[in-house]
């Protein structure tokens, strides 16, 4: 989704801004632009449709000089992807701005501004902010005041940075619903929608709060809260690794992130489990008390995070004996729901900025949930800041749009949480706890073993690349793993894929089975194996093409129409996490063969910060 970078410095900032945009490319975008102003009030705005590289070439050619500038990658919402709709947008010759989010009342504002003789040059909702600031500036003493006044008239979500050509000493930024971080330098300061954009220039950051408006100059940052009072916001040092934006020796970020899973899991487990026990306090201050009062769990998430929640539902009920509902955030927030007594709300999110999940959290807080916890991968993100408890996955920065290590670390965190909850509720005894903890200790090594199937899966993927559809089947907690596998395949290889609980086959999807429809089955050795074998027979009998990822002990024999990928047995508890890995590799290799843009699949964004 859109990305913002800004800088106020003594040196020329063009390279810093373009490098910042490159670091935000993973979020997904369709056009990019930059505007830089120099000490003589000369403004240079360059916008291009397509990749940041194209913008970078244009910037190199034009060589804009100047120490104050803003830059943006746009993911079209209002108005097609085009150079005219690309940011920065301007009002007249002076006010220049970039914006993330959506202005919901842009049509009414556009009418009012047109009556004031403002001429609109784009189809975007953003342009209204530029004219509104220009209008307010005519009756204000400063740009800061004008932006504050304009912000009060906006409904919707925005993270916006405004620059005035006549005053190249400062940038003004406003945040409401779209994250903005200020990067502190020495004699220079920066802004971005994600700290990752600025890691080459600073590691010290201030996160703006909802409703904040700030003025940034080379030496000073003044922040006002939503009431207009000057406030201090704490600066923190980034914990993100320096090389988070590099692929290392890998061909794609997604590939790197798949292979990083053993270390990501080790990091997530560290300090959360001892030799045999789950450390309840590691979940957060007050976690023990909150968990002991929980009678119901409501999980809210989107996409891959939702699939993690769906998997964990089986664990909450079978291990902790606590009822659990899981719902897609965009459904939950618009439904007239009933809050169960002593219900713990859990949001799951890699980014911590997903608009629907955040809105669902805010709504739930008004509707009497006992407490709100987030399991999240980004420190300082909105979900983390707005939840009572934040249980961080430590997957490291995930750049590939297709979520991989965030999913498996979410599952590990959820398993720790389920065990902790069961301990507090006395539904998990010491023997069960030791068994789960043992399985968690073994997990990173199991994942390393699953990764060793890479070349085998590469061969298998050759058979998928020319297919138009695929079906994934699983039972119990492997149904959500099948959902996740189908999401992965469709988003990066563009092969249409569906997942079904295998017992549902005969209720409809069997009609689709023919030799052109690969059917992937996840078949661990568990209580449901015999049932699953019957489903496999149903597909076989209809001439279907089967690819079965099965436990070595499952007793399945390969045939002409059924390939078996025999996986070494692992603990039943963590096996859903283990079986996720070959599914990720299958999608990755299918996408490679199809030649798609693996890390930035078409039409998708990494952090979905708009509804």
Q: Which chain residues interact with ligand M6R by CB under 6 A?
A: 302-305, 349-351, 354, 357, 401-403, 487, 491, 604, 607-608
Catalytic residue among 2, 302, 324, 376: 2
Could you tell me what percentage of the chain is helix, strand and coil, using 3-state DSSP and rounding each to the nearest 5? 40, 25, 35
The two beta strands, 43-49 and 31-37, are antiparallel
Catalytic residue among 224, 405, 533, 606: 606
Distance separating alpha carbons of residues 373 and 347, to the nearest angstrom: 6
Nearer to ligand M6R, 403 or 493 (CB): 403
Rounded least distance, CB 329 to ligand M6R, Å: 8
Rounded least distance, CB 360 to ligand M6R, Å: 11
Tell me: cis bond preceding 88? Omega within 30 of 0 counts.
yes
Rounded least distance, CB 316 to ligand M6R, Å: 19
Q: Is 498 exposed, middle or buried (0-12, 13-18, 19+ CB in 10 A)?
A: middle
Nearer to ligand M6R, 296 or 488 (CB): 488
Nearer to ligand M6R, 43 or 300 (CB): 300
Nearer to ligand M6R, 490 or 563 (CB): 490
Nearer to ligand M6R, 261 or 351 (CB): 351
Rounded least distance, CB 237 to ligand M6R, Å: 23
Distance separating alpha carbons of residues 526 and 530, to the nearest angstrom: 9
Locus of tokens 């429809």: 517
Rounded least distance, CB 398 to ligand M6R, Å: 9
Nearer to ligand M6R, 343 or 357 (CB): 357
With contact defined as beta carbons under 8 Å apart, do 66 and 85 qualify? no
Rounded least distance, CB 376 to ligand M6R, Å: 8
Rounded least distance, CB 301 to ligand M6R, Å: 6
* Rg of the chain in Å (alpha carbons): 25
With contact defined as beta carbons under 8 Å apart, do 332 and 384 qualify? no
Rounded least distance, CB 377 to ligand M6R, Å: 8
Nearer to ligand M6R, 77 or 82 (CB): 77
Distance separating alpha carbons of residues 422 and 292, to the nearest angstrom: 9
- The H or E element containing residue 566 is strand 562-567
Nearer to ligand M6R, 88 or 380 (CB): 380
| Six token digits for residue 142 | 């400063």
Rounded least distance, CB 307 to ligand M6R, Å: 8
| Six token digits for residue 389 | 């408890």
Rounded least distance, CB 492 to ligand M6R, Å: 8
Distance separating alpha carbons of residues 271 and 267, to the nearest angstrom: 9
Give which of 290, 310, 291, 288 is closest to 299, Cα–Cα. 310
The two beta strands, 221-224 and 213-216, are antiparallel
Rounded least distance, CB 357 to ligand M6R, Å: 5
3-state SS, one letter per residue, for 406-475: HHHHHHHHHHHHHHHHHHHHCCCCHHHHHHHHHHHHHHHHHHHHHHCCHHHHHHHHCCCCCCCEEEEEEC
With contact defined as beta carbons under 8 Å apart, do 46 and 96 qualify? no
b/e 428-455 (16+ beta carbons within 10 angstroms → b): beeebbebbbbbbbebbebbeebbebbe
The two beta strands, 189-192 and 230-231, are unpaired
Q: Is 525 exposed, middle or buried (0-12, 13-18, 19+ CB in 10 A)?
A: middle
Nearer to ligand M6R, 148 or 349 (CB): 349
Distance separating alpha carbons of residues 116 and 137, to the nearest angstrom: 14
Residue 247 is a catalytic residue: no
Q: Helix 575-594 and helix 430-451: axis angle, to 10°?
A: 20
Q: What is the number of the residue whose Cβ is closest to ligand M6R?
A: 303
With contact defined as beta carbons under 8 Å apart, do 175 and 151 qualify? no
Nearer to ligand M6R, 159 or 303 (CB): 303
Residue 2 is a catalytic residue: yes
With contact defined as beta carbons under 8 Å apart, do 4 and 25 qualify? no
Nearer to ligand M6R, 378 or 416 (CB): 378
Q: 15 CB contacts (<8 Å, ≥6 apart)?
A: none
Indicate which residues carry an active-site annotation: 2, 606
């Amino acid at each position: 989704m859109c990305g913002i970078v800004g800088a106020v410095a003594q040196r020329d900032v063009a390279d810093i801004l373009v490098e910042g945009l490159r670091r935000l490319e993973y979020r997904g975008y369709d056009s990019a632009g930059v505007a830089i102003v120099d000490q003589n009030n000369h403004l240079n705005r360059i916008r291009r449709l397509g990749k940041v590289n194209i913008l970078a070439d244009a910037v190199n050619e034009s060589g804009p000089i100047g120490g104050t500038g803003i830059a943006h990658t746009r993911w079209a919402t209002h108005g097609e992807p085009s150079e005219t709709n690309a940011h920065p947008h301007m009002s007249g010759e002076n006010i220049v701005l970039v914006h993330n989010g959506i202005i919901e009342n842009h049509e009414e504002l556009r009418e009012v501004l047109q009556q004031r003789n403002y001429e609109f040059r784009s189809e975007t909702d953003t342009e209204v902010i530029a004219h509104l600031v220009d209008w307010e500036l005519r009756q204000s003493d400063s740009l800061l005041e004008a932006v504050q006044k304009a912000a009060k008239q906006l409904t919707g979500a925005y993270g916006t940075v405004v620059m005035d050509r006549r005053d190249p000493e400062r940038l003004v930024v406003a945040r409401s619903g779209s994250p903005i971080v200020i990067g502190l330098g020495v004699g220079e300061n920066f802004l971005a929608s994600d700290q990752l954009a600025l890691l080459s220039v600073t590691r010290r950051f201030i996160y703006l709060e909802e409703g904040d408006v700030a003025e940034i100059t080379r030496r000073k940052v003044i922040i006002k809260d939503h009431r207009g009072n000057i406030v201090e916001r704490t600066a923190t040092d980034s914990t993100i690794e320096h090389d988070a934006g590099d692929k290392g020796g890998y061909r794609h970020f997604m590939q790197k992130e798949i292979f990083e899973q053993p270390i990501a899991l080790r990091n997530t487990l560290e300090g959360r489990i001892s030799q045999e026990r789950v450390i309840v306090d590691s979940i957060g201050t007050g976690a023990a008390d909150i968990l002991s009062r929980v009678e119901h769990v409501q999980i809210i998430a989107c996409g891959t995070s939702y699939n993690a929640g769906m998997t964990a539902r089986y664990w909450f009920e079978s291990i902790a004996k606590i009822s659990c509902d899981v719902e897609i955030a965009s459904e939950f927030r618009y439904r007239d729901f009933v809050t169960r007594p002593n219900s713990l709300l859990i949001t799951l999110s890699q980014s911590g900025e997903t608009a629907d999940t955040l809105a669902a959290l805010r709504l739930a807080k008004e509707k009497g949930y006992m407490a709100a916890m987030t399991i999240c991968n980004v420190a300082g993100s909105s979900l983390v800041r707005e939840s009572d408890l934040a249980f961080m996955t430590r997957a490291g920065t995930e750049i590939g749009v297709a979520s991989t290590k965030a999913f498996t670390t979410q599952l590990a965190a959820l398993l720790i949480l389920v065990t902790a909850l069961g301990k507090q509720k006395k539904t998990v005894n010491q023997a069960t706890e030791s068994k789960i903890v043992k399985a968690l200790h073994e997990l990173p090594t199991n994942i390393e073993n699953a990764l060793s199937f890479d070349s085998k899966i590469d061969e298998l993927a050759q058979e998928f690349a020319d297919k138009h559809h695929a079906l994934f089947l699983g039972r119990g907690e492997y149904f959500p793993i099948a959902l996740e596998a189908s999401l992965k395949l469709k988003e990066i290889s563009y092969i249409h894929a569906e997942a079904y609980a295998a017992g549902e086959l005969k209720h409809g999807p069997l009609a689709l089975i023919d030799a052109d429809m690969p059917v992937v089955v996840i078949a661990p050795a568990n209580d449901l194996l015999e049932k699953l074998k019957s489903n496999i027979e149903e597909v076989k009998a209809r001439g279907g093409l089967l690819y079965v990822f099965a436990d070595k002990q499952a007793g399945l024999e390969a045939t002409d129409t059924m390939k078996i990928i025999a996986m070494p047995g692992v603990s039943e508890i963590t096996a859903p996490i283990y079986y996720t890995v070959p599914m990720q590799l299958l999608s990755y290799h299918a996408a490679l063969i199809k030649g798609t843009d693996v890390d930035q699949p078409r039409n998708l964004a990494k952090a979905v910060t708009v509804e």
